[in-house]
Homo-oligomer: A and B are copies of this chain.
């Protein structure tokens, strides 16, 4: 059994009927808050998690003197359904457990987060929604689902619709994970370690840029060799309380990301982009291999109050992961500027 810290709260979602038709009974949303909600409930920021991330993995962007300063804002980090803390294949009782856990869309994720924000806290306006990667996808979804509620948005290293290349990259991760016979179609008792390690090695080439490896930046991160980085960082990452069915649930959400699938938009991604009212700064990373800046440039064209800034440098997708202080400062500065506007 995976051991998690108990530093978070649970919001009971009750019976949740998902966009795909399944009903997840007695569903749970795990979340953590930072700072205090002010009297008029006008200082709340929503900051969703990313693919396999947990609330504590978001904390690098929260702190005194930063844009997300708990002395000033009430920051809510909702854990994605499927991440192992909120309702997930790994913690849901039968019959919707393990391989039978239903598909969850970005729209589903944000509907449930909205329940938390409004029903639990009575919040009706959000000065900011922001997030990395799939957190960026949820940020876009918030801006589309609740256009009059989200004042500002900053999706970093993510997209409003998952590109076909991104879908293919994820197919590789999925194929490696499930190639291990120990996966047993999702009905494993023991985690398929070989598949998890294989998925980690597939991911390794995508997470950081060609130039990152050329410059051996992993040595600055404390890894002693390329192989050490692959084992200690990447395999360690996938073995750190990540559950294969959970990973596949989130992977499905990601592959099927499209704000156009919000009800009333009938799959029309561009119409959904046009509906966004939030003042938005979109932050792709220069050398992100699966969310390249061109894709975000395309999206911004259809948004009425948005601009793109590119996070420069060699860190690729992980520019938004909080591991490089230079990139963290870049993101934090943009968030400060956006919040001041």
Residues of B within 8 A of A179 (CB): 176, 179-180, 194-195, 198
Q: Assess the B163–A175 pair: CB atoms within 8 A.
A: no
Query: Which chain A residues numbered 208 to 240 have a C-beta less than 8 Å away from chain B?
Result: 209-214, 216, 226, 230
Q: Assess the A169–B226 pair: CB atoms within 8 A.
A: no
Q: Assess the A205–B172 pair: CB atoms within 8 A.
A: yes
| Option from B176, B195, B210 in Cβ contact (under 8 Å) with A165 | B210
How far is the CB of A291 from the nearest CB of chain B, in Å?
9
**A295→B209 CA distance, assembly (Å):** 13
Chain B: which residue is nearest A215 at the CB level? B164
| Option from B171, B203, B210, B216 in Cβ contact (under 8 Å) with A230 | B171
Report if A168 contacts B (CB, 8 A).
Answer: yes
Give the oligomeric copy count.
2
Q: Assess the A165–B205 pair: CB atoms within 8 A.
A: yes
| Option from B164, B180, B194 in Cβ contact (under 8 Å) with A214 | B164
Contact code string A134-151 (vs B, CB < 8 Å = 1, else 0): 000000000000000000
Contact code string A146-175 (vs B, CB < 8 Å = 1, else 0): 000000000000000001110111011011
Report if A197 contacts B (CB, 8 A).
Answer: yes
Chain B: which residue is nearest A201 at the CB level? B175
Subset of 29 A-B contacts with CB under 8 Å: A163-B213, A164-B216, A165-B205, A165-B209, A165-B210, A165-B212, A165-B214, A167-B226, A168-B230, A171-B204, A172-B205, A174-B201, A175-B176, A175-B197, A175-B198, A176-B176, A176-B198, A179-B180, A179-B194, A179-B195, A180-B180, A202-B202, A210-B289, A210-B290, A210-B292, A210-B294, A210-B295, A214-B294, A289-B289
The 10 tightest CB contacts between A and B, nearest first, are: A172-B202, A175-B198, A165-B213, A175-B201, A179-B179, A176-B176, A164-B213, A179-B198, A181-B181, A169-B205
Q: Which residues of A contact B (CB under 8 A)?
A: 163-165, 167-169, 171-172, 174-176, 178-182, 194-195, 197-198, 200-206, 209-214, 216, 226, 230, 289-290, 292, 294-295
